[in-house]
Amino acid sequence: MANALLPNAVVPAMKLYDYFRSSAAYRVRIALNLKGLGIERAFVHLRRNAQREGDYLALNPQGLVPALVIGGGAVLAQSLAIIEYLDETHPEPPLLPADPAARARVRGIALEIACDIHPLDNLRVLRYLTSTLGLSEEQKDAWYRYWIDVGLEALEMRLVRDAATGRYCHGEQPTLADICLVPQLANARRAGIDLSPFPTLTRIEAACTALPEFAAAEPSKQPDAEA
């Protein structure tokens, strides 16, 4: 288990640059587990700014995790692009439904989290608030909670009223939408946000985290986890 997620068959030549607390990396870990793919990992310590060091920037100029090195040395960045790549190259089980409108629904939920909630609460943004703008910890925490609250409220409303919502965000199988939802709710919990106004989201979260593929990807279970 030392350098694996679930004890899956290792795919040679793929390597994930990971950090236990990055929720974008957490998404990719879930996808790898759902696909049954074991791959080599390297850990980039974001809080120590390892992502700003020359070696890592040469790999990924954006200086963010995750990054996935694939056969031939190409480097893929951006968690959703990486997960779509895994889905296209390892189609079973599919992480998107077959119908185009249903695919758009799943991608829309994923993007609602990945574009409109998560980036506002990224570490680099929080640092700008306190370091550059000189905001207090209270103001920073209020910012963090505000964007999660606004985002989860809209998502709860979208999911609760839509018959396409099932045991998971879309029907009866986990998809890209659930892969984005679970890490975002983990962040919300860590920030002490009251999730009781979001019963649909937490019901889906519970269904997901009961699966070993989601559970093994949790931050606290990774080799680089810290208290």
The residues binding its own copies (CB under 8 A) are 61-64, 70, 72, 74, 76-78, 80-82, 84-85, 88-89, 100-101, 103-105, 107-108, 110-112, 114-116, 118-120, 125, 128, 132-133, 135, 139, 143, 146, 154-155, 157-158
Shortest gap between Cβ of 212 and its own copies (angstroms)? 27
Which of 116, 224 has the CB closer to its own copies? 116
Which of 81, 206 has the CB closer to its own copies? 81
Q: Which residues contact 78 (CB under 8 A, 6 or more apart)?
A: 24
Shortest gap between Cβ of 123 and its own copies (angstroms)? 12
Nearest CA-CA partner of 102 in 32, 172, 12, 187: 172
Shortest gap between Cβ of 206 and its own copies (angstroms)? 22
CA angle 180, 56, 8 (to 5 degrees): 50
Which of 184, 216 has the CB closer to its own copies? 184
Shortest gap between Cβ of 217 and its own copies (angstroms)? 20
Residue 52 structure tokens: 């700003």
Is the sign of the CA dihedral 78, 166, 149, 217 positive or negative?
A: negative
Which of 176, 216 has the CB closer to its own copies? 176
**25 near 18, Cβ under 8 Å?**
yes
CA 129 to chain centroid, in Å, comes to 23
